[in-house]
Amino acid sequence: MTDTSEQDRVLIFDTTLRDGEQSPGATMTHDEKLEIAAMLDEMGVDIIEAGFPIASEGDFEAVRDIARQSRNSVICGLSRANPKDIDRAWEAVKHSARPRIHTFIGTSPLHRDITKLTQDEMAERIHETVTHARNLCDNVQWSPMDATRTEHDYLCRVVEIAIKAGATTINIPDTVGYTAPRESADLIRMLIEKVPGADEIVFATHCHNDLGMATANALAAVEAGARQIECTINGLGERAGNTALEEVVMALKVRHDIMPYDTGIDTTKIMGLSRKVAAVSGFPVQYNKAIVGKNAFAHESGIHQDGVLKNAETFEIMKPEDIGLSATNLVMGKHSGRAALRAKMKELGHDLADNQLNDVFVRFKALADRKKEVYDDDLLALMRDSAADE
């Protein structure tokens, strides 16, 4: 990667349909997966991990059909480190104009204990399986699962083997969400410095959110040289989830001044995808979720509402339209002030004179004390009462 524009471009790898779907209870139907994949493709996601083809016939068919329908994105299928899995992944993704095989094995001592492979035996397995994948497909991603708890010497050794066997992307998973930003950056920097051939491939970061640091860890890895972020819509994923696509993409957009890396994402599609994934997975988005939560662009307190009405930048660091929302949401409650009430009433078609506004405002405050949120219909009813008492 020598060209500067290439160096500043971060690839977005979406795994909502694979790691996201692994969330207990988040199973999606074949048609729902195809619909989400089409939306991801249109949004500009560089790589869609469409599923784990060996896992079931349904997974295989979904990956195959996504590979057939997608126009722009690379379509990737996951496989464990054995030829049967890899062949099955290839059978599914080969229908794409841009197929990728992703193969992985757990490299940390805990995982080596489970597979009962010595370091040398595992190194040999990695060589064989990456070579096998590369003989089928010229776009191969390899992941040392639990990389952040793997001994550094061993990690360097196996990454080098995978590169020599033909891997074109090396993904460094923080499988259990254990790392922290500085460590995440140091690990990528160490691999880039120490592993021969590291400058020929793309390093990816794959973070889980067990300690709530997935977004910070992914961005730290990018600052250290990773050029692919693995993420999911709404941060869906096993346990506390994966890095949220909307968070890393908007962080890179809003703080481009200090993180000058570009993605190819059309951010105006974010909200539509968030709603779609929430609906089909059955996992609602928490109200205060960054970027896509119901309250992310909502303001209730009088000071905030007044500020936002005068200049949105006072309390908003991004525009609602940037993520595909039509407008800032002024939530009317007991903390709201006169300026917000005037603006809200105007939105509802009533341009109030000062004396009318004063009257409706008194009624509104009395109601807001009894009710958590005052809805548009409540306000219209207050308007009618005020007009009737005149």
Q: 139 among the known binding-site residues?
A: no
* Contact between 215 and 178 (Cβ < 8 Å): no
| Partner from Zn ion, ligand KIV, none contacting 145, C-beta within 5 to 8 A by type | ligand KIV
Q: In whole angstroms, how close is the CB of 208 to ligand KIV at the nearest point?
A: 6
b/e sequence 8-18, b meaning 16+ C-beta within 10 Å: ebbbbbbbbbb
19 or 300, CB closer to ligand KIV? Answer: 19
C-alpha R_g of the chain: 25
Binding of ligand KIV by 142 (CB under 6 A): no
Which residue, 170 or 331, is less far from ligand KIV as judged by CB? 170
Q: Cα–chain-centroid distance for residue 321?
A: 19
By CB under 5 A, residue 247 contacts Zn ion? no
In the complex, the smallest distance separating the C-beta of residue 60 from ligand KIV, rounded to whole angstroms, is 17
**Residues in binding contact with ligand KIV, number by CB under 6 A:** 9
One-letter identity of residue 380: L
| Largest Cα–Cα separation, the chain | 88
- Is residue 48 within 8 Å of residue 96, measured between CB atoms? no
206: annotated binding-site residue? Answer: yes
Q: Which of residues 87-126 bind ligand KIV (CB under 6 A)?
A: 104
Per CB under 6 A, the segment of 24-32, 171-179, 209-217, 290-298 that binds ligand KIV is 171-179
Say whether 242 counts as a known binding-site residue: yes
Residues in Cβ contact with 217 at an 8 Å cutoff, skipping those fewer than 6 apart: 174, 179, 180, 181, 184, 205, 207, 243
Q: Give the C-alpha distances (Å, rounded to integers) separating 14 from 73, 182, 265.
A: 10, 24, 11
Nearest distance from C-beta of residue 137 to ligand KIV, angstroms:
17
User: In degrees rounded to 5, what are phi and psi of residue 373?
Assistant: -135, 135
14 forms part of the interface with ligand KIV (CB under 6 A): no
Is 256 annotated to bind a ligand? Reply is no
Question: CB neighbours of 344 closer than 8 A, spacing ≥ 6?
Answer: 330, 332, 376, 379
Closest among 165, 20, 185 to 105, alpha carbons compared = 165
Question: Does 206 sit near ligand KIV (CB under 6 A)?
Answer: yes
In the complex with ligand KIV, which residue's Cβ is closer, 214 or 309?
Answer: 214
- What gap in Å lies between CA 53 and CA 96, rounded to an integer? 14
Q: Which 18-47 residues touch Zn ion, going by CB under 5 A?
A: 19
175 forms part of the interface with ligand KIV (CB under 6 A): yes
289 binds, among Zn ion, ligand KIV, none (CB under 5 to 8 A by kind): none
Query: What letter represents residue 344's amino acid?
Result: K
Site residues for Zn ion, window 1-20 (CB under 5 A)? 19
Q: Among 129, 143, 205, 217, indicate the residue that binds ligand KIV (CB under 6 A).
A: 143
Residues in the chain: 390
Cα–Cα distance, 295 to 139 (Å, whole number): 41
Return the range that interacts with ligand KIV (CB under 6 A); candidates 39-47, 169-177, 243-251, 264-272: 169-177
Cβ nearer to Zn ion, comparing 205 with 386: 205
Residue least distant from ligand KIV (Cβ): 173
**Which CB, 209 or 386, lies closer to ligand KIV?**
209
C-beta neighbour count of 73 within 10 angstroms: 28
**Token match 């992307």: residue?**
169
Per the annotation, where are the binding residues? 19, 206, 208, 242
Q: Which residues are annotated as a binding site for Mn(2+)?
A: 19, 206, 208, 242
- Residues in contact with ligand KIV by the rule CB under 6 A: 19, 104, 143, 145, 171, 173, 175, 206, 208
Q: Summarize as ranges the residues that interact with Zn ion (CB under 5 A).
A: 19
